[in-house]
A and B are shown apart, each in its own frame.
Chain A
Amino acid sequence: DTEVTQTPKHLVMGMTNKKSLKCEQHMGHRAMYWYKQKAKKPPELMFVYSYEKLSINESVPSRFSPECPNSSLLNLHLHALQPEDSALYLCASSQGNREVSGANVLTFGAGSRLTVL
């Protein structure tokens, strides 16, 4: 199994709603990532979890709350979002080891397209 699965594929929410994006991988990867991507732009890193601990938070507003319940799952809880938060949210994973010899490839899911009304 070499996939990262994201649900839902599409989400429309109001500014007062609470919703969650989910991500799952079964490749034994120990690093998991959330990226935000606007149209025609590169992915912007939001959060990194290494061995289920939050290791990088790129100054993301608190209306985005990540959670890593176990090594296979990553959630992004959304609350009180703004219309400018509408974007494609990409989950990714990598081996997470500082191996000099490995390629340590980043594997992406297909994304969750979020629209905030």
Chain B
Amino acid sequence: GDSVTQMEGPVTLSEEAFLTINCTYTATGYPSLFWYVQYPGEGLQLLLKATKADDKGSNKGFEATYRKETTSFHLEKGSVQVSDSAVYFCALRDLSNTGNQFYFGTGTSLTVIP
């Protein structure tokens, strides 16, 4: 079946440090991949997406590349800010199945300290 495995947290970084959050996936078909971010007290917001192999999604300085050969979609940012403190969820939707189901990783909590 489809699933997402995400790096366990919590992660604590100093401002301007480099961020990587690992995400790997298992899918039976042709997944689209997503990173969502959840700030305290809010719902999930789409951060970036990629729909096919070698696509790079990017937004607000965050990037992730869809790597089919390693079934990965790692999230990176070159210089984090305090305002990036949030929980990050990797997700996939397998367009080859008949449902409208999205699969989420367990989430990685990021705290950025000044």
Contact code string A104-117 (vs B, CB < 8 Å = 1, else 0): 11111111000000
Q: Which A-chain residue is minimally distant from B57 (CB atoms)?
A: A103
Inter-chain contacts of A105 with B (CB < 8 A): 34, 46, 49
B100 close to A43 (CB less than 8 A): no
Inter-chain contacts of B99 with A (CB < 8 A): 48, 55-56
Q: How far is the CA of A40 from the CA of B42 in the complex (A)?
A: 13
Q: How far is the CB of A100 from chain B (nearest CB, A)?
A: 6
Q: A90-B43, A101-B51, A111-B42 are in contact. Are A106 and B32 (CB under 8 A)?
A: no
A48 close to B51 (CB less than 8 A): no
Q: Which A-chain residue is minimally distant from B50 (CB atoms)?
A: A103
B46 touches which of A100, A101, A107 (Cβ 8 Å): A107
Q: How far is the CB of B28 from chain A (nearest CB, A)?
A: 15
Q: In the complex, which range does the number of interface residues on chain B fall in?
A: 20 to 34
Q: Which B-chain residue is minimally distant from A102 (CB atoms)?
A: B51
Stretch at the interface among B13-21, B71-79, B87-95: B87-95
Inter-chain contacts of B106 with A (CB < 8 A): 41-42
A71 within 8 A of B: no
Query: A-contacting residues of B (Cβ < 8 Å)?
Result: 30, 32, 34, 36, 42-46, 49, 51, 87, 89, 91, 93, 95, 98-102, 104-107, 109
